[in-house]
Amino acid sequence: MARPKKNPLMEALIGELPEPGTDWPVEKQIAWLDLMSRAFGIVYGGDAAQQMSAKPEQVPAPTASSAKFVAPKKAKQTSYDFIVEEGGYVLNGKTKERLSPEDVKGKTVYDMRGIDGDIAKIIWADDSVGINGADFTLTPA
């Protein structure tokens, strides 16, 4: 019997893996794993992504009488000093004040849009978009 074709979404994600031995920062590995867990949910059903983000004690143990899975509460999000929020605005993570490129010079900015965030679409306090000569590190959150 012929084996069914692989799912294109899963194949595309696997195709994005860097070659073995390539420097691949842990933050990017985690972001890829998160995306892959979401793809599993789309392709196979379930909520692997939600369970992966939960603390171990929050994931309910399966029982023989379990008729339905009860989703764990979302793990508390860590606060960051500098963020790009869902709308693309660069903000102080604590005060939510909009920032200029000079405010984040030499700093790490966490992109709350994840690995899909487009650096060309980040918006600064003066409403300019993109990098604008800023010297910072952008990391998916």
Task: Report residue 104's pLDDT band, with 50, 70 and 90 as the boundaries.
Answer: very high
Rounded to whole angstroms, how far apart are CA atoms 140 and 132? 19
DSSP 82: E
Higher-confidence position of 99 and 70: 99
- What's the pLDDT score for residue 59? 53
Q: Which residue has the tokens 């990017």?
A: 28
Task: Report residue 65's pLDDT band, with 50, 70 and 90 as the boundaries.
Answer: low
Query: For residue 49, what is the enclosing H or E element?
Result: helix 48-53
Q: What is the mean pLDDT of the chain?
A: 79
- What's the pLDDT score for residue 76? 47
Task: Please count the CA atoms within 13 angstroms of the CA of 23 that sit on its side-chain side.
Answer: 0
**Are the C-beta atoms of 124 and 90 separated by less than 8 Å?**
yes
Domain residue ranges in the chain: 25-62, 82-140
pLDDT tens-digit series, residues 45-64: 777 767 766 655 555 555 55
pLDDT at residue 98 greater than cutoff 90: yes
Task: Report residue 89's pLDDT band, with 50, 70 and 90 as the boundaries.
Answer: very high
Rounded to whole angstroms, how far apart are CA atoms 137 and 108? 5
